[in-house]
Chain A
Amino acid sequence: MSFSEILYKILIQGGSYWTILKGLNSTVEISFYSLLLGTLLGAFVCALRMSKIKILRFAATVYIVILRGSPVLMLLMLMYYGVFARSSLEANVIAIVTFSLNVAAHIAELLRASISATDHGQVEAARTLGFSAWQGFRLITLPQVIKIAKPVYQSTIVNLIQWTSVVGYVSITDLTRVINNIASRTMQPMITISIGMLIYLGLAYIVHGIFALTDYLQARKEAVR
């Protein structure tokens, strides 16, 4: 069997490309919603982690330590086959909740580190000039936090996309599961998995491209000013 015949069998025959697209859609959907929820939850956990109330700080620390220290597959299986076993929630929803919880712990620490890296004196100076606490945070701290956190946040998104490759264990047919099914059907694991890797790599570069675009737009905006 020639290489082109193998490629045809893997990518085209029987509408295989459509199945791959559906799997890709599932991966992107889970990653996108998990990132959205995870970022919001991460910001909240970060606020708790930096709170002046000791018990809240402690609770946030425990959350971060547990979630960052446990493998996401174990957490996913525990949630799907244990915690939500009797619920009627769709597998996709449980996966999004799980990945949100996990990524939130990472984002909370990322935000905390970024906030710590900013100069608190600038906010104090702003306050003496009549800025409110919220204004000080929004106009002085937040832009710097975004700038500091951006490269690591980008890596976190790429990591999240890769972490979702375990959702086949909870009956979701994502990109990895589709690739595995095709590899089993065609008995061509090396080529099929290489194609799967290229698709994941493409996703990572799309994320990279989006961040590069935002950097470019920001630079242009500042140049116009």
Chain B
Amino acid sequence: MKKFLCALIFVFLLAGASFGAGKNFVDAGILTYLGTTEQEFQSGLDDLRKAVAPLLPADEDKGEWASYDRLEGFLDSLVQQRRVIHFYDSLLSMQMALRSHKIDEIALPEPVGMYLISNNPKYEIYFSLNMMPSTISFGFKHGNTALQKEFNTAILAMRKDGTLARLQKNFVLELPTGEPEAVKFTKFKDAQTIRVAVTGDLPPIDFIAADGTPTGYNTAILSEIGKRLKKNIRLVSIEAGARSAALAGERVDVVFWYRNTEGLKAPQKLKGKNLKNVMKDNLEGVILSEPYYEWDTDLIIGLAD
């Protein structure tokens, strides 16, 4: 019996090793898109891959694709090797999967990716995707258009007067390794209190300091919005996976971050392939504000060894 069990284990190990050795795809981890399933995302990406392959120009004809420079790296890479997508609810679980070789690479917004590799030399950038501008917005419960409008007014004013750019510079772009300083919130007597969910899972954009208090870009931007709206802000720390439940259950009024994919469109050459159908983060019951953070580049990060 013992011999039989040993033989069985050996066969399984052998089968596993040969399966792994013959792998002709890349296991890629991304943060969960709340508005779509892993299968739908995979199917959308596979469709995109099929559509892109015949359109990709030969090396000598790359000039023809001059207007698609930003897409080139992504398309080349996607066609060369199929990406099998794995969703992770948190950056932490995604890192664990990468470290344990469950996945080969992870995709992160540039500021988050830079923070990751600056703080842990075990990671390195495999390549950058200058694919399309990506944005993050506040999320509100469907129907709460009054608060959405107030936030939009504040964000647009902050964008216009350069406050957004200044906060991004001070709290994200010039802060790859260090910890951001604490921001004070102005108290308004007898004013409404807006409860905002933060996760601490997207440093340095959504960040929780060593003493357990939310600090950095999330607090800086919310403090500024609070001042402009003359309302008090109360930060509520929750798990990233509970963001929509917190909004739906009205435990919070605003969720600090949702990826805003409303504006994503593939280039004309890929007619009918609207990327927002694939990369859908916003749920039916959630409405989004004007974006408050934008970046052009996603980093594909893997283990340094």
Contact of B211 with A18 in the complex, beta carbons under 8 Å: yes
Contact of A189 with B95 in the complex, beta carbons under 8 Å: yes
- Are A19 and B212 also in contact (CB < 8 A) when A168-B238, A171-B238 are? yes
B contact residues around A15 at 8 Å (CB): 210-211
B203 interface residue per 8 A CB criterion: yes
Chain B 225-243 against A: per-residue CB contact (8 Å), 1 yes, 0 no?
0000000000011110110
Q: Which of A16, A81, A185 contacts B248 (CB 8 A)?
A: A81
A181 interface residue per 8 A CB criterion: yes
Q: Which of B116, B237, B250 contacts A171 (CB 8 A)?
A: B237
Q: Which residue of A lies closest to B244 (CB)?
A: A81
A contact residues around B251 at 8 Å (CB): 80-81, 85, 170-171
Contact of B210 with A189 in the complex, beta carbons under 8 Å: no
B22 interface residue per 8 A CB criterion: no
B contact residues around A177 at 8 Å (CB): 237, 239
Chain A 165-202 against B: per-residue CB contact (8 Å), 1 yes, 0 no?
00011110100011011111111111001000000000
B contact residues around A190 at 8 Å (CB): 96, 99
A contact residues around B239 at 8 Å (CB): 168-169, 177, 180
- Are A184 and B208 also in contact (CB < 8 A) when A171-B237, A189-B96, A193-B96 are? yes
A151 interface residue per 8 A CB criterion: no
Q: Which residue of B lies closest to A193 (CB)?
A: B96
Q: Which residue of B lies closest to A12 (CB)?
A: B210
Interface of chain A, helix or strand or loop or mixed? helix
- Are A181 and B120 also in contact (CB < 8 A) when A171-B251, A189-B92, A190-B99 are? no
How far apart are the CA atoms of A43 and B270 in the complex, in Å?
Answer: 66
Q: Which of B197, B207, B242 contacts A185 (CB 8 A)?
A: B207
| Size category, A interface | 20 to 34
Chain A 1-33 against B: per-residue CB contact (8 Å), 1 yes, 0 no?
100000000000111101100110000000000
B179 interface residue per 8 A CB criterion: yes
B302 interface residue per 8 A CB criterion: no
Chain B 185-213 against A: per-residue CB contact (8 Å), 1 yes, 0 no?
00000000000010011010001111110
Chain B 137-152 against A: per-residue CB contact (8 Å), 1 yes, 0 no?
0000000000000000
Q: Which residue of A lies closest to B93 (CB)?
A: A189
How far apart are the CA atoms of A187 and B96 in the complex, in Å?
Answer: 10
Contact of A189 with B99 in the complex, beta carbons under 8 Å: yes
How far apart are the CA atoms of A187 and B120 in the complex, in Å?
Answer: 6
B20 interface residue per 8 A CB criterion: no
A86 interface residue per 8 A CB criterion: yes
Contact of B249 with A85 in the complex, beta carbons under 8 Å: yes
Contact of A169 with B179 in the complex, beta carbons under 8 Å: no
Q: Which residue of A lies closest to B211 (CB)?
A: A15
Which of A109-164 touch B at CB < 8 Å? none
B246 interface residue per 8 A CB criterion: yes
Q: Which of B90, B91, B245 contacts A77 (CB 8 A)?
A: B245
- Are A184 and B91 also in contact (CB < 8 A) when A15-B210, A77-B242, A170-B242 are? yes
How far apart are the CA atoms of A187 and B92 in the complex, in Å?
Answer: 8
Contact of B121 with A169 in the complex, beta carbons under 8 Å: no
A contact residues around B238 at 8 Å (CB): 168-171
B contact residues around A209 at 8 Å (CB): none
Q: Which residue of B lies closest to A190 (CB)?
A: B99
Contact of B241 with A169 in the complex, beta carbons under 8 Å: yes
A71 interface residue per 8 A CB criterion: no
Contact of A181 with B245 in the complex, beta carbons under 8 Å: no
- Are A185 and B246 also in contact (CB < 8 A) when A171-B251, A177-B237 are? no
B258 interface residue per 8 A CB criterion: no
Q: Which of B115, B210, B248 contacts A187 (CB 8 A)?
A: B115
Contact of B210 with A184 in the complex, beta carbons under 8 Å: no
B contact residues around A14 at 8 Å (CB): 179, 209-211
B contact residues around A23 at 8 Å (CB): 212
Contact of B249 with A185 in the complex, beta carbons under 8 Å: no
Q: Which residue of B lies closest to A179 (CB)?
A: B92
Nearest CB of chain B from residue A107's CB, rounded to whole Å: 28
Contact of B201 with A22 in the complex, beta carbons under 8 Å: no
Q: Add 17 more A-B contacts to A183-B92, A190-B96, A190-B99 (CB < 8 A).
A: A14-B209, A14-B211, A18-B211, A81-B245, A85-B250, A169-B239, A171-B251, A177-B237, A180-B90, A180-B92, A180-B200, A181-B208, A181-B237, A183-B95, A184-B208, A185-B179, A185-B200
Q: Which residues does A use to contact B, with CB under 8 Å?
A: 1, 13-16, 18-19, 22-23, 77, 80-82, 85-86, 168-171, 173, 177-178, 180-190, 193
Can you show 6 pairs from A to B with CB atoms below 8 A apart?
Answer: A22-B212, A81-B246, A86-B250, A169-B245, A184-B90, A189-B96
